[in-house]
Amino acid sequence: MTRTYEVVTYGCQMNVHDSERLSGLLEDAGYCAAPEGDQADVVVFNTCAVRENADNRLYGNLGHLAPVKAKRPGMQIAVGGCLAQKDRDTITKKAPWVDVVFGTHNIGSLPALLERARVQEEAQVEILESLEVFPSTLPTRRESAYAAWVSVSVGCNNTCTFCIVPSLRGKEKDRRPGEILAEVEALVAEGVSEITLLGQNVNAYGVEFGDRQAFSKLLRACGEVDGLERVRFTSPHPAEFTDDVIAAMAETPNVMPQLHMPLQSGSDRILKTMRRSYRQERYLGIIERVRAAIPDAAITTDIIVGFPGETEADFLDTMEVVRRARFSGAFTFIYSKRPGTPAATMEEQVPAEVIKHRYDRLVELVNDVAWDENKRLVGRRVELMVAEGEGRKDAATHRLSGRGPDNRLVHFTPPPAVETPGAVRPGDLVTVEITRAAPHHLIADGPVLDVRRTRSGDAWAARTTAPVTASVGLGMPGLGVPDQLPAAAPACG
């Protein structure tokens, strides 16, 4: 009987993309995705090491699985990703029932490690110190028929004092532009309408082969791919954000008017301590130039509260940047001390109660600003790409959900079948008029004004199992990312 698997993902879009590779590898090796609600024969945790709660959740879940595994002979558990790269032998000491531990540089080894652990009846720990095979050469099981990640680089050359990622994923390695475009074209040929270019520091792309304008050129080249409706990218670094990228965004119709650019802090003093090589005015200057070139751009960010040494004055600087930047949303984080980072040993760690008070004030301001920005869209017509599973209450409200060009989430009422033969499908494009606004979403309760069928919708409708495809070329494994990839495939025998 075919063995089943489940991949549980913690962390960023990089990890989600890696999990698609892990799923593809397992299916290529003969495994089948476990039906939703069923216990899988192989459970793979793809981990993050950026925040402490990821550690806690991993070990908590491993603890819950221990008695399950004891009752299921042959069940296997694997742990990979950034936390595995960092903790190595610690995982099998804390959870000796784990069968396989693998790192960020050798995800392609998972099927062989599982088989070796089964045959030898002992845990297999394999952690490579550097990348040997770019993950984009590996098979992929994409969760979406209409949207896909495309990696442009792997690793990071920055040395932010709060971040452990560079030591786990290594120095930046860039793919060649032709390899990236070949993958994009192959995905579009499969029916993908939207791609997101991924990099730990995506706009530094080209540093390895000496072209400082490589990223803007790549954006423009994506604009020439026939059938590609939407192009997004994440995450850029303000220090490398240049005007040629702004021009490429403004002048390439399928590059969406959306920018996610991490701020981390609005205080120049804290930014210096973080080793973030920009300051408040440079950051705000980038936003001003983006909005001058792309007036409808929605800008989101990441902010850390309670970095060591942060004073009330530093925090108020961050609040001021939020007011001036007019973010459409922000991912706000309480500073988490990560062993192995310079910030972990800094003096003046901020008391937890102070951090909590600041965090609550920041979240309130972010929500107020985002709500005000969303209200400006009431009465405006927006073309949405219909999404799958974005709205948690869609079934109860009989609505569907979609993303606008600026990536705002919109819940809308689908047209009756008599008006639009066949259901509106994920990947199709619909035009609606915004009727209401909330801090984190918009609502369009009026009629759908137009429906544009896409090949993505056709691909979704025809799909009975998620495809396993070999990506073209060489590449790498990136806010608001699901913590767990759903088991989308039907039951298998």
DSSP-derived secondary structure for 164-215: -HHHHH-S-EE--HHHHHHHHHHHHHTT--EEEEE-TTGGGTTTTTT-TTHH
* Cα 298 from Cα 284, distance rounded (Å): 14
* 276 within 8 A of 164, measured Cβ to Cβ: no
* Strand duo 173-174 + 153-154: pairing: antiparallel
Residue 163 annotated as binding? Answer: yes
* 200 within 8 A of 375, measured Cβ to Cβ: no
* Cα 143 from Cα 140, distance rounded (Å): 9
Count other Cβ atoms within 10 Å, centred on residue 451: 18
* 307 within 8 A of 343, measured Cβ to Cβ: yes
Residue 32 annotated as binding? Answer: no
List C-alpha distances in Å: 151 to 105, 199, 235, 236: 15, 6, 11, 13
- Tell me the backbone φ, ψ of residue 259, rounded to 5 degrees: -140, 125
CA 455-456-461 angle, to 5 degrees, is: 95
CA 138-139-140 angle, to 5 degrees, is: 115
Q: Please give the helix or strand (H or E) that residue 115 lies within, else none.
A: helix 110-120
* Cα 240 from Cα 269, distance rounded (Å): 20
Residues flagged as binding site: 12, 48, 82, 156, 160, 163
Residues flagged as binding site for [4Fe-4S] cluster: 12, 48, 82, 156, 160, 163
